[in-house]
């Protein structure tokens, strides 16, 4: 009886773990390659698993956030996929590297021109994005996944803090704290540091030159001393022979 109860408990626990883990794996998600720091740039991967046993994923549409538009979004070329980048006019222009940007990427669409993502496989769709906002902790990218049997799954439900995860959650990119001296920004302290580094390098070079010069001089004097010593020994030997002959 005890063995049966333990076996039943083990099966129940395993089923529970599997039930909890499968949805997390099955979601279309987004993760940075490294970090996605506020105010910086990052390469993010949209991970798309194929959830069907009888159909392949043939299309992925990712909608970019409008509350925090990204002026730059460049997808990486992918064999077997046609990529289309759609841009839209911004209600309010944003400033980037001292220039005003009036449009931003609103959607990227990947359409398979081959087999797509077959059953039992997943694929990553990399995109270089930036400049990431400094006044947000996360970005929500709504995604639509289309299968070869015309089935469409909309990953567009925004997860809410304190609530259960929705059935079809939208991919959410968490942003880390801003990194010091991130791309697109500069500060007087950075410039001062660069200047100090240059001065230190110059001083090091100047200090190294006399050392090299004195080292060369010492070597020359050493060789001269050896030659003089050899000549002296030879002279002494010859003088000794002359005396013995006499």
Q: What per-residue confidence (pLDDT) applies to 213?
A: 45
Across the chain, which has 246 residues, the per-10-residue mean pLDDT values are 50 44 67 95 97 97 94 95 95 76 93 96 97 94 98 94 90 91 43 46 47 47 52 52 54
Question: What phi, psi does 239 have (nearest 5°)?
Answer: -65, -40
Per DSSP, 162 falls in state T
Strands 29-32 and 72-75: unpaired
Q: Which of 69, 60, 71, 68 is nearest to 30 (CA)?
A: 60
**What is the rounded (10 degree) CA torsion for 10, 14, 15, 17?**
140
What is the rounded CA–CA span in Å between residue 1 and residue 214? 91
Q: What per-residue confidence (pLDDT) applies to 101?
A: 81
Q: Which of 107, 110, 128, 103 is nearest to 45 (CA)?
A: 128
pLDDT, tens only, 37-63: 999 999 999 999 999 999 999 999 999
Q: What per-residue confidence (pLDDT) applies to 193?
A: 44
Question: Global pTM?
Answer: 0.64
Q: What per-residue confidence (pLDDT) applies to 185?
A: 38
């Amino acid at each position: 009886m005890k063995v049966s109860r333990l076996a039943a408990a083990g099966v129940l626990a395993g089923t529970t773990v599997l039930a909890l883990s499968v949805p997390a794996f099955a979601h279309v998600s987004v993760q940075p390659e490294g970090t996605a720091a506020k105010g910086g740039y990052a390469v993010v991967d949209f991970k798309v698993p194929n959830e069907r046993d009888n159909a392949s994923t043939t299309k992925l549409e990712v909608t970019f956030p409008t509350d925090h538009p990204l002026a730059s979004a460049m997808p990486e070329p992918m064999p077997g996929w046609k990529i289309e980048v759609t841009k839209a006019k911004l209600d309010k222009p944003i400033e980037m590297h001292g220039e005003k940007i009036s449009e931003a990427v609103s959607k990227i669409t990947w359409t398979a021109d081959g087999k797509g993502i077959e059953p039992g496989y997943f694929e990553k769709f990399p995109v270089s994005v930036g400049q990431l906002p400094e006044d947000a902790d996360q970005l929500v990218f709504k995604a639509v996944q289309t299968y070869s049997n015309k089935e469409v799954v909309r990953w567009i439900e925004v997860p809410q803090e304190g609530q259960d995860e929705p059935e079809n959650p939208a991919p959410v990119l968490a942003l880390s704290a801003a990194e010091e001296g991130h791309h697109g920004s500069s500060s007087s302290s950075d410039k001062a540091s660069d200047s100090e580094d240059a001065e230190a390098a110059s001083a090091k070079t100047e200090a190294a030159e006399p050392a090299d010069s004195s080292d060369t001089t010492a070597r020359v004097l050493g060789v001269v001393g050896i030659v003089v010593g050899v000549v002296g020994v030879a002279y002494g030997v010859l003088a000794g022979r002359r005396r013995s002959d006499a």
